[in-house]
Amino acid sequence: MTFKKTSPHPIHARTKNTKNTKKQSELAFRLLCRRHGATCAYTPMMHARLFAEAPSYRAEQFSSTPADRPLMAQFCGNDPATVLAAARILESRGGVDAVDLNLGCPQRIARRGRYGAFLMDEPSLVSAVVATLAAHLSIKVTAKMRIFDDLEQTLAFARMLEASGASLVAVHGRTRDAKDAAATRADWAAIAAVKRALRVPVLANGDVRCLGSAARCLEATGCDGVLSAIPLLEDPALFSEGRGEAGCRVRPVRLLREYAALAAEHATPPRMVRGHAFRMLGDWLGEHTDRRDVLNGVDRSRRRPGEGGGGGGGEEEGAAAAAAAEEGVEGAEASAAGDAAAKDDADGEVSRRRAVLFDGSGLLTPAKVEAVAEELLDRIEKSGRGFPDPVVTERAALRAAAAEAAKRAAIEEADREAAALASIGAGFAA
């Protein structure tokens, strides 16, 4: 499988598992991204040994449809035979276009397992894995890497991947230690150097947060396509054209309804649905904590006054008393206007949503997620705002206070040391 600049924006969705996005990237979400501009997708990073040995793990981690193509199966592992065994299972099914070796995961679990970005410390072993896959698979083999602090080391590693049989190399423009994407800009110049050094297609990853940045990345790097991971989790349509809503936090709320329908169609586990819902709703859940509780399956009626999430009060009573306002239904206005039919419809919508949201099961379902999205959209439209009000959580406030206290303590300690040194100096002078 090759990636060529056959369109102005050859763009690809990368869905991955990290510390904060564990098991969020599955079939329903990939299909959503494809609907809105992504031209290719990766599976989550799958553990090669578990995939090869455990049928239950395979069933949970991998599912696809004919519409889910082209598709790259992403594995982590450090034993050539084991990774090959896992890849052959998917090859035999005919459901993927390439097998990818993940060399980009920087998380502690990757360090413990000796895979991901930490396997880049063993280039000879990486070469053996890639070469084994390339020699024994009929489908293409690709690899995803990070950069090193030293550019020449980065180029040597990329050339090794190509020489070992990789048909495509994806490059994340950050080092293994630069895990905070918000604090570290991706090095597009380093990615461009890799592109110039290789003959196979190269994909760029890092700081691709919208269609505009995708175009800028392609121009800066000369690459054959771009990847996005966490920004795509927050806005699955960031690769879409002509929407005129770049940066607007309302669009993901609308998309959540679409995702919920796909999740229901493809029997997506609740934990995956919840993970995507929290990513897509973002800061809106900080402002609307009652909807956050619904997604978490929290029964607020069982909370004691003063507990997190808005305090006490029965959920049923509170929702019943404020149905018109909270559900975004203008029943009172309809009644005042004498529009009895409209009021009946509105009351029916309130009842429908309440039946879905507060069914007493405590289970998160796609229908419940869709109802939460609809509710939030009603509230957002009434507020006239496109962005949520900034909310500082209690935990964040405590962290900020602790940091400020530590800063003051450090300044005081420095002042004491300076005073002591000055006193010693004065004694010698005397």
Residues with active-site annotation: 105
Give the whole-angstrom CA distance, residue 145 versus residue 134.
Answer: 17
Taking alpha carbons only, the member of 92, 155, 160, 173 closest to residue 129 is 160
b/e per residue, 348-384, with b = 16+ CB within 10 A?
A: ebbeebbebbbeeeeebbbbbbbbbbbbbbbbbeeee
Residue by residue, DSSP assigns 328-361 as: T--HHHHHHTT-HHHHHHHHHHHHHHHHHHT-SS
Residue 182 DSSP label: T
Q: How far is CA 391 from the centre of its chain?
A: 21
Taking alpha carbons only, the member of 191, 195, 227, 194 closest to residue 208 is 227
Residue 294 and residue 373 in contact, taking contact as beta carbons nearer than 8 Å: no
The CB-side HSE value for 79 (13 A sphere, CA atoms) comes to: 10
Give the whole-angstrom CA distance, residue 408 versus residue 394.
Answer: 21
**Distance of CA 349 to CAs 152, 260, 336, 358, 365, Å?**
62, 18, 19, 14, 18
